[in-house]
Structure 1
């Protein structure tokens, strides 16, 4: 039976830590909803009401544009192996960039990934659990390394140039404030 909780419980935390993939959803006040799969062990629960997620450079920067506009974020985990389960975390996020004062402290709690663009510091408002009985089984075979290789090949200067060319606005024209 599904529940709505006010924090990440120890049981929920154990489930989250076992998942290889999670999904991040944000939306602007007007425009398209963005829903993206994430992995690379880039999320860390710090307290029952706080988690951080390291976002790496990609083709778009929708999450930053939406977070800067309204702060709303939903993160979903679902079991692809083992017992059926879905966990959704609803909260408010703030963007932390490499130039921000608390970047080093937060970054030290996450894996070092090439092309790191920002950390989203999420204050958990509620956690919803549900059964997940319709989610199919999938076998985890490992992480993809193509994005890391791409970022390493670009180098820091190349990443900065890419941000200027490709990550300045959302698909709906909202500023991302990446630089």
Structure 2
């Protein structure tokens, strides 16, 4: 393993070529559930040598948002499924920026529009490491899935918002994730 003081230009080029990454977070409680989520599509951006962000799509849970609200801890992991073996981890502190937040629009301008978007996760990177990945298998990339886009377009903005209110309000451990506008102070 090698530690880097920041995301170097070489690592940035490699990260930008990856089609898939994983997001890990955990609550403070020892009884809480650790979360690990795969992410894909054109949803990851390097904002600076120690700052990244990704589009957070609507899903059946909102664990990452809940964990970030509670403690901010997050790790992003990229691993090569083609080419030379490599794993890169970005540890840091994250914040979920919701569409109602003042900072949302400036971040959103860096991403393509997506009907399934729920928030933008911005991470202040505190630790950058890479390792070999010698045991990661090869996989062939066949393309992006459009199922979320079709689902969100069929539901419409109001339907997606209603789904989020029902399914994404709390984490599986009962931590607050997405608040309704009337609940925000």
Residue of structure 2 in register with 1:145 after alignment: 146
Q: Offset at 1:5?
A: 1.4
Deviations 1:38-78 (A, max 9, x none): 00110100100001111010110101000000000000000
1:7 and 1:148 map into 2 onto residues whose CA distance is 34
Residue of structure 2 in register with 1:5 after alignment: 4
Deviations 1:127-148 (A, max 9, x none): 1100001000000000011011
Give the unaligned 5+ runs of structure 1: none
Q: Give matches, 1:16-95, under 5 Å.
A: 16-30=15-29, 31-95=32-96
Residue of structure 1 in register with 2:136 after alignment: 135
Q: Offset at 1:25?
A: 0.4
1:21 and 1:111 map into 2 onto residues whose CA distance is 17
1:21 and 1:145 map into 2 onto residues whose CA distance is 15
1:175 and 1:46 map into 2 onto residues whose CA distance is 27
Q: What TM-score, normalized by structure 1, do the two folds share? A: 0.97
CA contact (8 A) 1:163 1:178 kept: no
1:125 and 1:95 map into 2 onto residues whose CA distance is 17
- The two structures, once aligned, show a CA RMSD in angstroms of 0.8
Query: What SS does the corresponding residue of 1:98 show, helix, strand or coil?
Result: coil
Q: Offset at 1:124?
A: 0.4
Give the unaligned 5+ runs of structure 2: 181-185
Matched pairs, number:
178
Give structure 1 regions of 4+ aligned residues with deviation exceeding 2 angstroms.
Answer: none
Q: Offset at 1:177?
A: 3.1
Q: Offset at 1:6?
A: 2.2
CA contact (8 A) 2:22 2:39 kept: yes
Residue of structure 2 in register with 1:125 after alignment: 126
Deviations 1:87-109 (A, max 9, x none): 00000011111011111110000
